[in-house]
A and B are shown apart, each in its own frame.
Chain A
Amino acid sequence: MDTFLSRYKNLTALFAVVLVQLLLLAYQIKGEGEVRLLRVWAIASVTPFARVLEAVRTRSTHVVSDYLLLVGTHAENQRIKKALDNATLENQYLHAQLATADRAKALALFEESSPSKTIAARVIGNATGSATHVVILDRGTTSGIEKGMAVITPQGIVGKITGVYPNASYVLLITDPSFAAGVISQHGRAEGTLRGKGDGVPTVERIANEFKVEPGEWFYTSGDDRIFPKGLPAGQAISVHAGKLNQEIQLRASGLASGLEEVLVVLNGVHGNIPEVRPGNLSAQPVTMLPAPPQDKASEPTALSNTSYPSTHHTSAAAASTSSASNTGGVRTDADRLLDQYRKIGASLGHVFGQSGNGAPNYNVSLKPGVNPAAAASPAATEPSKEPTAEPTTGPTAEPSTGPLVDRAVEKPAPKP
């Protein structure tokens, strides 16, 4: 035996070292035990270096950007633009202030507005190994962070906490191959699984070909994974291809789009709703409107003076809501009523809207019972001296322009019930 061991000394040593590590692995994987002491030592010995490096980098960047570059810019501006007045200088100063606004402030604003309880943290390093996508935060158990918590930015989800130490924690990024999260598409409400692929472009799996998903559509967290609160942006589909059973959807991860410097760890998540508009679409932000007043039965339905308002909150532009209200038969605003009236006039005159060459119908005819619209539409019938009843009594109907009517109708004061 001794001869065998001495003859194969190298292989014996290799076998012993690998066996020890295999046993260590088995202890950790099967028993879900963790060799915490070794990790704590390693983290504690490396994080000071990382902090120092990060501090040096941040300060040197600030020195360059705040002093050297600004001095150069200032001198250049002085040389080239001596004739600028104080207002221009002030304007430039304000623009510079806006451009150099700290991301931390934006993060703090998001933190305040978010219903979930979050805590800001700074990324101080990468986990070793090019195959994994893990970053290290400068906050740990002393800040209340626990394993399994979600990590987000105002732009979207970033990853989840997979390891926590007193002053540091690991974040498994959504681009890591072992990452998975439940997501839902914005329009089709198709539920799928977000998976990392290791190359920076995660995919959404398990969405059947029958569901309609288009490139550019946003995906949000569904909350099913019990990690991310529902309603957080996950990313935008950049390519959608039909597979054998399920679609192959590639996502541009919105949370990682602008780099990782500061993040938010969700300490206590609150589920939200899937927004109807895409993030950042300011033109389609929700508009609050008052509920509708009680119906006045004595009022004339076509009179513009009787204004009513939508009973629910609208989220789209006025034109869209007007057309939708008319189509569904629920006339709600004066603009809707007027549009409805014009359609009836057009129908009674046999006018086909959208067909060129017919000209516009005469919108001044009345639709009161007993009056023939076709006769009223004739030139003789529209003369005020001969047919005074055909004269429209409402002012705005004399201007058959549908564009400004929406605004005008909204500006009308609400009638007293």
Chain B
Amino acid sequence: MSYSHDEIAEPPLRWGGGKYRLLQIAGVALAAILFQFYVPRLIKLLDYLELPLLVTLYFPLMRRSPVSGLFIGAGIGLAQDALSELPLGMFGIAKTLIGYLAGSVSQRFDDTNNWVRLVLAFCVFLFHQVLFWAMQRSLRGEMIDLNWERTLVQAVLNALVAVPFFAFLDRVGLGSSSSR
């Protein structure tokens, strides 16, 4: 009896399938996008926060599946694109890659460790911003400079927010411990 590479490498999903789980993901993603849509206008300090990106990172990490991660990332990214003035696909491609990356990384690291989450969120934010900037320059032809100082500060802040945010999602039952 022979097994394919994916069947061996990919562990069983922590979450059960079903519409309920899908609705949970959709609900959290929608809330994150709504937050990005509305809250920074009122509280300027929260402008640095990229909540849809953190959600894109969290669910693939918990599911430990690159394929479901890339679809979650694509869905969130396209929804974000639809609510921005950008062409559809800019956030979509970036978050697709993030979702895939998070799903792949989760197979090799302990995703419940806070330090791992912190470093992962920092790196993923940097990757997302650099990728987005590169796409704007190459695909849209906009000669925009990347503000490294600001990007690094934003990455640190998002990573610091990601740890309690992920712990909160774990606690309300969206994480691995309670959903397993």
Given that A25-B88, A25-B139, A28-B89 are contacting pairs, would A46 and B96 also be in contact in the complex, using a CB cutoff of 8 Å? no
Pick out which of these stretches binds chain A: B11-19, B43-51, B108-116, B166-174.
B43-51
Q: How many residues of A contact B (CB 8 A)?
A: 49
- Cross-chain contact of A130 among B50, B82, B96 (Cβ < 8 A): B50
Near A by CB (< 8 A), chain B positions 36-81 give 36-38, 40-42, 47-50, 52, 66-67, 70-71, 74, 78-80
* CB <8 Å contact, B38 and A134: no
B46 to chain A, nearest CB (A): 9
A-B pair number, CB within 8 angstroms: 136
Per the bound structure, the CA–CA distance linking A29 and B74 in Å amounts to: 19
Which B residues touch A54, using CB under 8 A? 38
Given that A21-B93, A42-B83 are contacting pairs, would A35 and B88 also be in contact in the complex, using a CB cutoff of 8 Å? yes
Given that A17-B71, A38-B88 are contacting pairs, would A7 and B4 also be in contact in the complex, using a CB cutoff of 8 Å? yes
B92 to chain A, nearest CB (A): 5
Per the bound structure, the CA–CA distance linking A314 and B96 in Å amounts to: 64
Which A residues touch B52, using CB under 8 A? 128
Interface range on chain B (Cβ under 8 Å from partner): 35 or more
Q: Does B84 contact A (CB under 8 A)?
A: yes
**Could you mark each residue 289-327 of chain A with 1 if its beta carbon is under 8 Å from any beta carbon of chain B, else 0?**
000000000000000000000000000000000000000
Q: Does A129 contact B (CB under 8 A)?
A: yes
* CB <8 Å contact, A129 and B84: yes
* CB <8 Å contact, A178 and B142: yes
Which B residues touch A96, using CB under 8 A? none
Per the bound structure, the CA–CA distance linking A46 and B32 in Å amounts to: 12
Pick out which of these stretches binds chain B: A8-16, A184-192, A386-394.
A8-16
Interchain Cβ contacts under 8 Å between A and B, 22 examples? A10-B6, A10-B100, A21-B74, A21-B88, A24-B87, A24-B88, A24-B89, A25-B93, A29-B87, A39-B88, A42-B82, A42-B83, A46-B33, A49-B34, A126-B38, A127-B85, A130-B50, A131-B133, A132-B85, A163-B85, A178-B142, A178-B144
